[in-house]
A and B are shown apart, each in its own frame.
Chain A
Amino acid sequence: MEDLGEKFLQVVIALAIFAAIIGFIMLLVDRAPKSFRDKATIIGFMAPAAILLIVGMVWPAAQTTFLAFTDRNGAINGLDNFIWMFTDPSALVTLRNTVLWVILVPTLSTIIGLVYAVFIDKAHGERVLKALVFMPMAISMVGAGIIWNFMYAYRGTGREQIGLVNQILVWFGGEPRQFLLDAPGNTFFLIAVMVWIQVGFAMVILSAAIKGIPADVIEASRLDGASAWQQFRNITIPSIRGALVVVVTTITIITLKVFDIVRTMTAGNFETSVIANEMYTQAFRANEPGRGAALALVLFLMVLPVVIYNARVLKKQKEIR
């Protein structure tokens, strides 16, 4: 702990340098000759963000696109990385897993989140119930990974189990299982962790949408003698369609980029890897930046249509309002 002071000093110095840069910009802007002042303001205020985004994001993204067509020595190798991705057996498993994640996580999270949002709308202690299910959103996926590693912990048959899931199996007369080792089931047990996290997000957004349904619409359907289920089908679902789309697309995007859960729980071994994890492994562990870049590019191309669709729906909603 002797270096505590040194670390603190690093932070203070960094913030001081940052404050000096910003202060300098402010000074320049205010002292600029009057005729030039507005222009100086625009340039000065935009410069930090513009430089960081161009140097740190736009240019690297362009470079990554180029890297995707090179081999480990930096020589151009055409489509080799993509051929590897779509023919190599382990790479194909990665792609298959990513598809499983992207189908299951948004669907299950949204359904459970919606059901829960509907339940708590009528329940006592709504605030507490909300907070409990939402809580996994706040903690890190590394923390969630450890929590579920512990849930899935395995002890041989006949020994006392320490993982709750295996204990429940044993209580019901089953044999304990190696949940994270046996493919292909293990991918589903990782997916369960992500669902556990994302249900909270779906629930908060959908709950807000449900509360936004005008009371008279519900009254009217009630007077018409609609059952609870009919009301749910014909009033609730159509009224919150926009929110449902946002929830599904947002979770889809997050799921495509999921990295921490796989990294923490299996490190992508035992046929559990997904694109985001494989990208890291190839680029920073296996010394194959070309393959890593190709995987990043494919990830980008998968995210792209979802984002565009999401933006369209949001825009349309704003126009209606």
Chain B
Amino acid sequence: MTSTPAVPVTVDDKGDQPVPPITRRVKQRLTSRGATIAAVIIAVIWTVPTAGLFISSFRPEENLNRDGWWNVFSNFEFTLENYADVLVSGGSQSPNLGQYFVNSLAIVIPGTLIPLVVASMAAYIFAWSNFRGKDTLFVFVFALQIIPLQMALIPLLTLFVNLKIGEFHVLPPGSYAQLWLAHTIFALPLAIFLLHNFIAEIPGEVIEAARVDGAGHATIFWRIIIPLSVPALASYAIFQFLWVWNDLLVALVFSGGTGDVAPITQRLAELTGTRGGEWHRLTAGAFVSMVVPLIVFFGLQRYFVRGLLAGGLKG
């Protein structure tokens, strides 16, 4: 639908041109206007599905079942009941999303902090010390990125369930521990690689000066490396945060499926399957789950894009 050949591809005009100024200005304005219209059309198409869901989440249940959300403009009614229903109303019939929202938070905070620290430590060694076989080992860690997480799920679950000291479960089922550990493991290869690239760029003199002053590795790491790496750490943290918050597969496998630890994505997927017709609940519920990533995204977009350009993608 958008294959008009007159695609304007030029970067802004600069300097002298043999074209008469008036024609040039006209031409430029034309291409620019055509491009703007085409871009706006695509942007609208891309936004309408989300907007429709958002509008619907504020419509009373009977309106939702009566006609489509685009009728809201002729027949305006607004309610917060859907949100109240999914978040706070008790009882086994309620989606109880408030509880799952808390679970998501409880999973995502350690699930972001732990891999960040563990990966920074390894990245520091890869960047600033020398031992035999270091480069080979680094390539190996890098290569681990190609293992899809599906390759590890079955044995890892068995391992987690059977990890006992005497009768004591190290990672008790129905606790967050399995989820934190699984997310940490799957984050490490990419995190080590990206953070290494950044930490290796820190000027050697800074570290050398600290060493001359008698600082040990631990001091150098916490007082110099970590503060100087904040931009890279932030970029990666945003990714890991969104990845863990939005995850479904790891949650399904390691949460044991109970409401005690399952994140909001898992609950929503479940509701879609069992009560797919209850749109007043699904629309509001979906938005409850999207609020946090959208805040992170719009608030920290700059870091997000920077991380993306550095190759920060996994799955």
Contacts and interface: CB of A to CB of B under 8 A. Distances in A.
B155 interface: yes
A142 B145 CA distance: 24
A8 B2 CA distance: 51
B95 interface: no
A204 B42 CA distance: 15
Contact of A48 (B121, B176, B265, B290): B121
B153 interface: yes
A283 B131 CA distance: 41
B139 to A, nearest CB: 10
Interface residues of A, number: 126
B152 A263 contact: no
B189 to A, nearest CB: 7
B196 to A, nearest CB: 11
B5 A147 contact: no
A142 B176 CA distance: 21
Given A37-B216, A196-B49, A143 B184 contact: no
Interface stretch (B63-71, B77-85, B200-208): B63-71
A56 B152 contact: yes
A52 interface: yes
B159 A150 contact: no
B192 interface: yes
Contacts of B53: 146-147, 150
Contacts of A26: 218, 221-222
A83 to B, nearest CB: 20
A22 to B, nearest CB: 6
Interface string A60-79: 11011101000000000000
B229 interface: no
Contacts of B176: 10-11, 14
B294 interface: yes
Given A30-B217, A219-B15, A292-B154, A284 B268 contact: no
Nearest to A160: B67
B109 interface: yes
A124 B38 CA distance: 11
A49 B131 contact: no
A139 B121 contact: no
Interface string A290-304: 001101110110011
Interface string B1-27: 011011111111011011000000000
Nearest to A8: B106
B273 interface: yes
A4 interface: yes
B308 A46 contact: no
- Interface SS, B side: helix
A296 B35 contact: no
Interface in A106-122: 112, 115-116, 118-122
Contacts of A208: 305, 309
Contacts of B297: 135, 137-138
Interface string A140-183: 11110111111101000000111110010000000000000000
Nearest to B301: A131
Contact of B68 (A1, A137, A164): A164
Contacts of B194: none
B153 to A, nearest CB: 7
A150 B46 contact: no
Contact of B9 (A140, A149, A232, A256): A232
B224 interface: no
A136 B32 contact: no
A20 interface: no
B110 interface: yes
A263 B249 CA distance: 9
Given A18-B114, A120-B39, A45 B298 contact: no
A41 to B, nearest CB: 4
B32 to A, nearest CB: 5
Given A132-B43, A142-B265, A303 B6 contact: no
Contacts of B9: 118, 121, 210, 218, 228, 231-232, 235-236
A4 B289 CA distance: 18
Contacts of B121: 22, 45-46, 48-49
Nearest to B27: A228
Nearest to B272: A264
A279 B150 contact: yes
B93 interface: no
Contacts of A101: none
B8 A201 contact: no
Contact of A293 (B3, B141, B154, B308): B154
A92 interface: no
Given A116-B39, A136-B46, A300-B147, 9 more contacts: A22-B117, A42-B131, A52-B184, A52-B185, A122-B32, A138-B242, A139-B246, A204-B308, A263-B252
- Smallest CB-CB A-B distances: 6 pairs: A140-B246, A138-B297, A56-B185, A60-B155, A49-B122, A63-B155
Interface of A: 1, 3-4, 7-8, 10-11, 14-15, 18, 22, 26-27, 29-30, 37-39, 41-42, 45-46, 48-50, 52-53, 55-61, 63-65, 67, 112, 115-116, 118-125, 129, 131-143, 145-151, 153, 160-164, 167, 196, 199, 201, 204-205, 208, 210-211, 213, 215, 218-219, 222-223, 228-229, 231-232, 235-236, 250, 253-254, 256-257, 259-260, 263-265, 267, 276, 279-280, 283-284, 289, 292-293, 295-297, 299-300, 303-304, 307-308, 314
17 contacts: A14-B110, A49-B141, A60-B154, A61-B152, A122-B35, A139-B290, A139-B294, A141-B246, A142-B248, A143-B265, A146-B285, A150-B283, A211-B11, A223-B18, A257-B315, A264-B272, A293-B154
